[in-house]
Amino acid sequence: MPAEIEPFRAIAISRLAHAMKAQGQRVIHMEFGQPSTGAPAAAIAAAHTVLDRDPMGYWESADLTGGIASLYRSRYGVTLDPSQVILTCGASPALVLALASRFAPGDRIAFARPGYVAYRNTVAGLHLTPVEIPCGAGTRYQLTADLVAALDPAPQGLIIASPANPTGTIIPADELAAIADVCRRRGIAIISDEIYHGLSYVEPAQSVLAFAPDAMVVSSFSKYFSMAGWRLGWLVCPQDRLARARAYVGNLFLTAPSLAQHAGLAALGSTDELEGHLDTYRRNRALLLEALPRLGITRIAPPDGAFYIYADIGHLTDDSLAFCEALLRATGVATAPGVDFDPVDGARHIRFSFAVSTPEVEQALERIARFVTGR
């Protein structure tokens, strides 16, 4: 029997936003975690060059997997063999690859609530069993070692995200080490979603590989590298799981796009440009944290990283999907409803993405203020 999964409701909001834009309305897209900056200049230049000289085909760039392995060494002090880096068509296939190759149907996979919508739905879609761990303000909306230790029975797998979507919270290094220790003692396999690494405002995020070398790590060029549309991601796989994972990726997905691989290699050397994007996100974050409380939106998850504000708007609505649609139709500001990330309490929450330009954030705040005041 096919698995039943819920839709990604922010996609419907985005579809409406694009339809409004096509009709000439001025829309500000804060519904997706999609950088508005575009790929680094060096990546675009590399793509132009490759288009002129390379017919391309099924291929995995040894230079790129080696470059990603070097990134882990320089950023985290973690040594990887480049063969452990499996290139994928974005982070979503990497998550599917990790779950499908590591677990058996019926296995219980735990993760934080609120959490990224695709964790719950991908786990269910693969006939695994989602186990949502309620994480509120008391744990900064993040997993802790105590929460994992309290799971009874122990799940077969645990998905970690730090910085997290939708909250942007980061798990401190000592807590991440404690979680890894609990999982080791209880036989829980870890999948770590590290797609927002490089986007930190308080402290750098640590890779779980520093504490659990046998973990699987999902990441991509979509966020920090500002290459969402290029569909280039990767899975770091432990050596003892590598043959099985490569068999899966070869049959399910073949290879990542050749053009994106060439561009991604160039993007690895574009640190100065990419850090400039981070400066923009830092300004946008500050603007939202200053302005939203003046609108009565005071219960906000601490956005340590990524580019999201996850806020309780229970004083305005108990139907976040209807609120997001009404806000979009009235103001042209597209946002994501909390029900995507939390099926229990998400009807009282909303997520703002600040991966847009600073003038767009300023304009969005003006429009939102008029809307909220009117309600």
pLDDT in tens, 307-334: 999 999 999 999 999 999 999 999 999 9
Residue 3 lies in a domain: no
Q: Is residue 4 scored above 90 in pLDDT?
A: no
Q: Do 222 and 113 share a domain, yes or no?
A: yes
Q: Do 231 and 144 share a domain, yes or no?
A: yes
Domain termination site, one of 252, 267, 282: 267
Percentage of the chain exceeding pLDDT 90? 91
- Looking at residue 157, what is its pLDDT? 98
Q: What is the mean pLDDT of residues 82-96?
A: 97
The model's pLDDT over 215-263, given as tens digits with 9 standing for 90+, comes to: 999 999 999 999 999 999 999 999 999 999 999 999 999 999 999 999 9
Residue 159 DSSP symbol: E
Percentage of the chain exceeding pLDDT 70? 99
| Domain interval for residue 215 | 41-267
Q: What is the mean pLDDT of residues 99-117?
A: 97
Task: Say how far apart CA 93 and CA 104 lie, in whole Å.
Answer: 17
Q: Do 236 and 355 share a domain, yes or no?
A: no
Q: Do 131 and 208 share a domain, yes or no?
A: yes
Q: Do 139 and 119 share a domain, yes or no?
A: yes
pLDDT band at 6 (very low <50, low <70, confident <90, very high): confident
Q: Do 180 and 293 share a domain, yes or no?
A: no
Domain termination site, one of 226, 249, 267: 267
The model's pLDDT over 125-167, given as tens digits with 9 standing for 90+, comes to: 999 999 999 999 999 999 999 999 999 999 999 999 999 999 9
Q: Do 210 and 95 share a domain, yes or no?
A: yes
The model's pLDDT over 18-46, given as tens digits with 9 standing for 90+, comes to: 999 999 999 999 998 889 888 999 999 99
Residue 4 lies in a domain: no
Q: Do 282 and 219 share a domain, yes or no?
A: no
Q: Do 215 and 305 share a domain, yes or no?
A: no
Domain termination site, one of 232, 267, 302: 267
The model's pTM is 0.94
Task: Say how far apart CA 363 and CA 340 lie, in whole Å.
Answer: 25
Residue 94 lies in a domain: yes
Residue 148 lies in a domain: yes
Q: What is the mean pLDDT of residues 330-348?
A: 96
Adjacent-strand bridge partners of 333: 28
Residue 120 lies in a domain: yes
Q: Do 286 and 337 share a domain, yes or no?
A: yes
Task: Say how far apart CA 137 and CA 224 lie, in whole Å.
Answer: 26
pLDDT band at 52 (very low <50, low <70, confident <90, very high): confident
Amino acid at 11: I
- Looking at residue 34, what is its pLDDT? 85
Q: Is residue 1 scored above 80 in pLDDT?
A: no
Q: Do 89 and 193 share a domain, yes or no?
A: yes
Amino acid at 38: G
Q: Do 240 and 99 share a domain, yes or no?
A: yes
Q: What is the mean pLDDT of residues 182-203?
A: 96
- Looking at residue 96, what is its pLDDT? 97
Residue 2 lies in a domain: no
Q: For the chain, how many structural domains are there in total?
A: 2
Q: Which two tokens stand for residue 191?
A: 């999948």
Task: Say how far apart CA 190 and CA 290 lie, in whole Å.
Answer: 36
Q: What is the mean pLDDT of the chain?
A: 95
CATH number, domain containing residue 229: 3.40.640.10
Q: Which residues of 286-302 are buried (b: 16+ CB within 10 A; e: fewer)?
A: ebbeebbeebebebbbb
pLDDT band at 55 (very low <50, low <70, confident <90, very high): confident
- Looking at residue 203, what is its pLDDT? 87
Amino acid at 336: A
pLDDT band at 2 (very low <50, low <70, confident <90, very high): confident
